[in-house]
Chains A and B, each alone.
Chain A
């Protein structure tokens, strides 16, 4: 059974700094990996999706990397802003499934200090 871990559970960073969020998964036979953002009282918003054949995906100040062999993904946020404060979750499809069944990490709650 696929397990997804995100450490640390919470992170506080001064505004303007670059930061890295981590995601690890136990089974490397994945089709893709997604990063989501969750704001309090709201649903999840998809940030980036990396296909299994890719190593990186970029969107604005966000860059996600994927290393299937080591079971790791990172989300790099450049020049952090207070508006980046949110909980960030990663998710991978379950073993032997396509995208029908997603397994989520428990998330990293990010606080950007002005």
Chain B
């Protein structure tokens, strides 16, 4: 089944304890992206990647890091989490621009993170 898989789905952690949220897709998609969703603010883009070793900032990159060493994986790293990073996080992917259906994003089920 074609899907985007995020782990963990739920996590409670404490301020300053480094954590990584993994994202993996099995569709050979070039493009991957991370979003956070907060009440009243909607989804906001954190980082995106056009392909392996190519990443760029979205609208709210502060406090986050990403890497794209393999096509299928795009982990989100919080080096020193703070309470304002408590949120619902989504990973998404889609094909590259030159392929059919390139615009349609496939989302993971989300990871709910609480930072105490």
Smallest CB gap from A43: residue in B: B107
Minimum Cβ distance to chain B for residue A109 (Å)? 11
- Which A residues touch B35, using CB under 8 A? 104
Interface size on B, residues (CB 8 A): 28
| Contact of A104 with B42 in the complex, beta carbons under 8 Å | yes
- Which A residues touch B48, using CB under 8 A? 100-101
Stretch binding the partner chain, chosen from B12-20, B63-71, B72-80, B98-106: B98-106
Residues of A within 8 A of B (CB): 4, 32, 34, 41-46, 49, 89, 91, 98-107
Q: What 14 additional pairs, Cβ within 8 angstroms, besides A44-B92, A44-B107?
A: A34-B104, A43-B4, A44-B43, A44-B105, A46-B106, A98-B97, A99-B94, A99-B97, A100-B50, A101-B58, A103-B45, A103-B59, A104-B35, A105-B42
List 30 interface pairs A-B (beta carbons < 8 Å), by A numbering. Answer: A4-B42, A34-B103, A34-B104, A42-B109, A42-B110, A43-B4, A43-B90, A43-B110, A46-B104, A46-B105, A46-B106, A49-B103, A49-B104, A91-B43, A98-B97, A99-B31, A99-B94, A99-B97, A99-B102, A99-B103, A100-B31, A100-B50, A100-B56, A101-B45, A101-B58, A102-B43, A104-B35, A104-B43, A106-B41, A107-B42
